[in-house]
Amino acid sequence: MNAPLTLFEKIWKSHTIIEDEGGQSLLYVDWLLCSEGSVHAFNILRQEGVEVRRPNQVMGVADHYVASGGPRMEDVVDDERRNMIRTLENNVREAKVRMFGLGDPYRGIQHLVGPEQGMTQPGLIVLCGDSHTSTQGAVGALAFSIGGELSHALATQTVWQRKPKKMRMWVHGSRPVGVSAKDVILAIISKVGHSGALQHAIEYDGPAIRAMSVEERMTVCNMSIEAGARLGIIGPDEKTYAYLKSRPYGPKAGADMDRALAYWKTLPTDSDATFDKEQSLDASGLTPMVTWGNSPEDAISIDARVPDPRQASDEKHRLSMEQSLDYMGLKPGTAMKDIAIDQVFIGSCTNGRLEDLRAAAAVIQGRRAVVPALVVPGSTQVKLQAEAEGLDRIFLNAGFTWGESGCSMCVGMNGDSVAEGKRCASTSNRNFRGRQGRGSRTHLLGPEMAVAAALTGHLTDVRELVKS
């Protein structure tokens, strides 16, 4: 009798070609995603005289350096960034790889494009040089970043990896009104810490996860990295299967889809499979969350106050808290609701999907932003659909700026940034020092909460704005 396996183990096992004596596995790779940062990998191939092994299983996507102010090359802020995009275009053209470039109606942040196009499917391994590749684990794929290993993967369609440990995060209960998927993952990271899942693959499950849409699950898997995890994954179910129907690169209706479904339904974790670590969270007790410091683990309820370093568990933690508060310009005991905001960003691979924009727009209800607020769809398909539904007009009429798809202010390297000393309420995934610009101060929160901040000029409990 075969031993019971987790979802992660089933995919890892089915893709393992060989294991070496040092404990590493050579894995077959189904899809490789390459953005502007892949330039070094292609240079290595060129220097070695090696071609891309399977160009039909590689895609190029311009996302980090594109401009939210316009879709053309001349809209990109400077020659250095334009050159990065042109270099990517030249590399993938030479390698005969499909390019989702400027002007392409299917372009966007690579972690949205993969699932949108149906490339990312249950049971596959999807790799990219970007850390938030884990987003795509929401459809039941092993999706993770490989950084410097990209050249090897391009040349061989394989990658050497040490198998991470297994962790299950069981989220029970039902989310209260006003609590988003972003609040759930911020609460998880706050609970386990920034290294609580180090060297682990997290599988999310439980009633609260199953109640989420596939797009909400992407938000959860996206920020697994902020808990130190190698990746996050959610077992496929009927919602997954419905989401993947009629995707361009997915199985076609009929016999192809029947075969795919038959396989996908074998993937969920066996009932008696074991994990190296188990954690749980009760979603029913959650409130909207927001960060106060320089790590996503510094997340607390909007109803709370800035913590006091004197209450830290140890000296190292106390010093870290003091440094964060100094950088963020905050004092212990300050009510989170009293923190004024200079600007707002809604977008990124964490919260730039259509459901995020719908939820954000629903909060406006005829009000206007009192601080600069930028909304950037995560992909051009999201942008087009949002415009078809009139969401862009809702934002524009409320004084928000509506941008072209891309990474935008999440990374602060494409012309969209936060000025030194300014405070931004952001739906992105990282509040590290300087992440959104030199000296910038970032508060992470969900899309509805971001709109609430834009409408009031300070961190605000969105539930106070949408009371019936």
Q: Is the pLDDT of residue 172 over 60?
A: yes
**Is the residue at 285 inside a domain?**
no
Q: Is the pLDDT of residue 331 over 70?
A: yes
Q: What pLDDT score was predicted for residue 22? A: 85
CA neighbours within 13 Å on the CB side: how many for 56?
A: 1
Instruction: List, for residues 388-429, the tens digit of each pLDDT value.
Output: 999 999 999 999 999 999 999 999 999 999 999 999 999 999
Q: Are residues 233 and 373 in the same domain?
A: no
Q: Is the pLDDT of residue 27 over 60?
A: yes
The partner residues of 205 in beta bridges, in order of sequence, read 170
Tokens of 328: 């963020």
Mean pLDDT of 342-367: 98
Q: Are residues 251 and 298 in the same domain?
A: no
Domain endpoint, select from 245, 278, 311: 278
Q: Are residues 188 and 268 in the same domain?
A: yes
Domain endpoint, select from 239, 257, 278: 278
Q: Are residues 265 and 325 in the same domain?
A: no
**Is the residue at 456 inside a domain?**
yes
Q: Are residues 379 and 303 in the same domain?
A: yes
Q: Are residues 269 and 309 in the same domain?
A: no
Mean pLDDT (the chain, rounded): 97
pLDDT band at 315 (very low <50, low <70, confident <90, very high): very high
* CATH assignment of the domain containing 448: 3.30.499.10
Q: CA 211 to CA 234: how far, in whole Å?
A: 12
**Is the residue at 1 inside a domain?**
no
Domain endpoint, select from 278, 312, 340: 278
Please state the domain count of the chain: 2
**181, 281 contact by CB (below 8 A):** no
Q: Is the pLDDT of residue 32 over 80?
A: yes
Q: What pLDDT score was predicted for residue 240? A: 98
**Is the residue at 260 inside a domain?**
yes
Q: Are residues 231 and 84 in the same domain?
A: yes
Q: Is the pLDDT of residue 227 over 80?
A: yes
Q: Which domain holds residue 328?
A: 290-464
Q: Is the pLDDT of residue 468 over 70?
A: no
Mean pLDDT of 154-173: 97
Q: What pLDDT score was predicted for residue 374? A: 98
**Is the residue at 392 inside a domain?**
yes
Q: Is the pLDDT of residue 2 over 90?
A: no
**Is the residue at 259 inside a domain?**
yes
Q: Is the pLDDT of residue 148 over 90?
A: no
Residue 1 burial (10 A CB sphere; 0-12, 13-18, 19+): exposed
Instruction: List, for residues 437-462, the tens digit of each pLDDT value.
Output: 999 999 999 999 999 999 999 999 99
Q: Are residues 234 and 345 in the same domain?
A: no
Q: Is the pLDDT of residue 1 over 80?
A: no
Q: Are residues 222 and 314 in the same domain?
A: no
Q: What pLDDT score was predicted for residue 467? A: 74
Q: Are residues 30 and 86 in the same domain?
A: yes
Single pTM value for the model: 0.97
**Is the residue at 372 inside a domain?**
yes
Mean pLDDT of 201-209: 98
Q: What pLDDT score was predicted for residue 134? A: 98
Mean pLDDT of 225-254: 97
Q: CA 176 to CA 283: how far, in whole Å?
A: 8
Q: CA 17 to CA 376: how far, in whole Å?
A: 41
Q: Are residues 240 and 324 in the same domain?
A: no
**Is the residue at 446 inside a domain?**
yes
Q: Are residues 273 and 294 in the same domain?
A: no
